[in-house]
Amino acid sequence: MNKTQVTNPIIWADVPDVDAIRVGNAYYMVSTSMHSMPGCPIMRSEDLMHWEVVSYVYDTFEDNEAHRLEGGKNIYGQGSWAASLRHHRGTFYVCFSSNDTRKFYVYRTDNIVQGPWQRSVIDGLRHDPGLLFDDDRVFVIYGNGDIYITELTADAAALKSDGIHQRLFETEAEGIGLRCEGCHAYRINGYYYLLFIEWPKAGFGNGRRRQICYRSRELLGPYERRIVLDDDLGYHNKGIAQGGMFDTPDGKWYAMLFQDHDAVGRIPCLVPVAWEEDWPVFGIEGKVPERFEVDLPQAVVKPLVISDEFEYESNKLALNWQWNHNPDHRLWSVTERPGFLRLTTGSLAPAGVLQARNTLTQRTEGPACTGTVLLDTEHMKPGDHAGLVALQSHFGTVGVKVAENGHKFIAMSVNDGSGREKELETVRYRGSEVHLRIDFDFENSKDVASFHYSVDGAEWMQIGGELNMRYTLDHFMGYRIGLYYYATRQTGGHADFDYFRYEKAER
């Protein structure tokens, strides 16, 4: 059998809170998507190194002002968190909590790629939940420090009224800054295993995130505890932890965990797992290997982030794209002007790009990447802004703005500290079409973005200053590159993007 070379991180992009399973010869993984829609991306792999987005659990999961970026409200850093993915007796299940709605969501389907997904909503927040199927019973285990167990009905659609609902145990507190959370629950060979992360304070151990395992012969305990991984792959004491484990058809075990990697986001790593005296042992001699082989033939490599000429036969985008918050589907099209993405304004966003509806995004990738668009500004109205954004709380934009007198300017802007745009440089522009580009550099934690424009697509001018990118918890997401268009004075204009072209540097 041909083997696949694994290089960690397996994905150098923001795919956080991963949960992976195997069904037959295929591996599926879900991750946190927060304010990006559609959400709860399902990724598929056959060799554990190369993953492709094959579906989403939902297009949107709530419809209110915050989810629609209306009334000055938003769900940055909220939305769906830490989804759990399971397959039981032919049905796939995904569950997560949403911090903004304070509700617990369970989705289920017989077809993880095609759907449809049936949704159930349960009142109450169940932080970082882990689903556990135990014969004919279903449980969700969750919490932070205090770990709770709640029994669900057999279809996982509701709380079981006469089932188990109690605190399971309390995790270590001494010297711990972030106590155990992010549960992944399993029953294997007569033991119940609960995987968590915890983060010791500085001066206690290595002072970084680490992987914890609790195990018991009985569901309700008592549970034994062990640190099963405490390693940073040589990257700035950023621990690799939080995720689940699974086996291959030939009985080998692996874990999919993630690592905080500054501005690019939280990135997944594949970790070999061995078993010693019925304890999972993560890594090789306590370390996450940078390179190793798996006994699986290499699959066809498909990109996570794609270029797009916007040549579609129907008004449906490639799965690689996600909207920032719920889109207004009346106000975008890839068929109205064939070969172009058309964004139309239907509401005002006086606060700027963070409040712009229908910003279309993809992830950024390390070690470096570049996104370029060709923008047609002919039908933009006074007060309109369109272009490219390096999207996080500490954002940077390069684009065209139309002044009240109809004059056009190329502008580079950043967050002024309150969420509004602060212009660092403007250049008068008299044309209709303009090329825009953002370069991202994540190599060795450089975390810098630069912004450029061109009249002809050949000669480029840098504009504004370099953006020192920062991962901040108010957005809780790695930097994305987005195509935006918004109005500040009147609606009804439109901006046409001829293409989005993407390149990434090789490792």
Q: What is the pLDDT of residue 444?
A: 87
Region 266-281 average pLDDT: 98
- Single out the residue of 146, 139, 152, 217 nearest to residue 185, CA to CA: 139
Catalytic residue among 19, 62, 128, 181: 181
pLDDT band at residue 507 under the 50/70/90 scheme: confident
What integer best gives the mean pLDDT of the chain? Answer: 97
What digits encode the pLDDT tens for the residues 310-354?
A: 999 999 999 999 999 999 999 999 999 999 999 999 999 999 999
Number of separate helices (H) and strands (E) present in the chain: 0, 38
Question: CA torsion, points 48, 50, 53, 54, in degrees to nearest 10?
Answer: -70
Whole-angstrom distance between the N-terminal and C-terminal Cα of the chain?
26
Region 473-486 average pLDDT: 98
State which fold the 4-294 domain adopts: Tachylectin-2; Chain A (2.115.10)
> Following DSSP, what letter does each residue of 401-463 receive, concatenated?
EE-TTS-EEEEEEEE-SSSSEEEEEEEEE--SEEEEEEEEE-GGG--EEEEEEESSSSSEEE-
Q: What is the pLDDT of residue 1?
A: 62
CA distance 97 to 104: 4
Burial 1-19 (b: 16+ CB within 10 A, else e): eeebebebbbbbbbbbbbb
Q: Give the distance, in angstroms, between the CA of residue 229 and the centroid of all CA atoms in the same chain.
A: 23
- Single out the residue of 110, 145, 113 nearest to residue 128, CA to CA: 145
| Confidence (pTM) | 0.97
**Long-range residue pairs from 330-336, CB within 8 A, at least 24 positions apart, any chain:** 331/357, 331/358, 332/358, 332/360, 334/310
Q: Is 181 a catalytic residue?
A: yes
Domain boundaries, the chain: 4-294, 322-504
Q: Which residues pair with 274 in a beta bridge?
A: 281
Q: What is the pLDDT of residue 25?
A: 96
**Structural class in CATH, domain 322-504:** mainly beta
Q: What is the pLDDT of residue 496?
A: 98
What digits encode the pLDDT tens for the residues 380-395?
A: 999 999 999 999 999 9
CA distance 280 to 257: 14
CA distance 493 to 506: 39
Region 460-474 average pLDDT: 97
Q: Edge-to-edge strand order for the sheet containing 210-216?
A: 176-188, 191-200, 210-216, 224-229
pLDDT band at residue 410 under the 50/70/90 scheme: very high
Catalytic residue among 17, 262, 384, 441: 17
Q: Is 65 a catalytic residue?
A: no
Contact 433/377 with Cβ under 8 angstroms?
Answer: yes
The residues, any chain, with a CB within 8 Å of residue 285's CB and separated by 6 or more, are: none
What digits encode the pLDDT tens for the residues 12-24?
A: 999 999 999 999 9
CA distance 319 to 57: 12
Whole-angstrom CA distances from 47 to 9, 268, 294, 305 are 15, 15, 8, 19
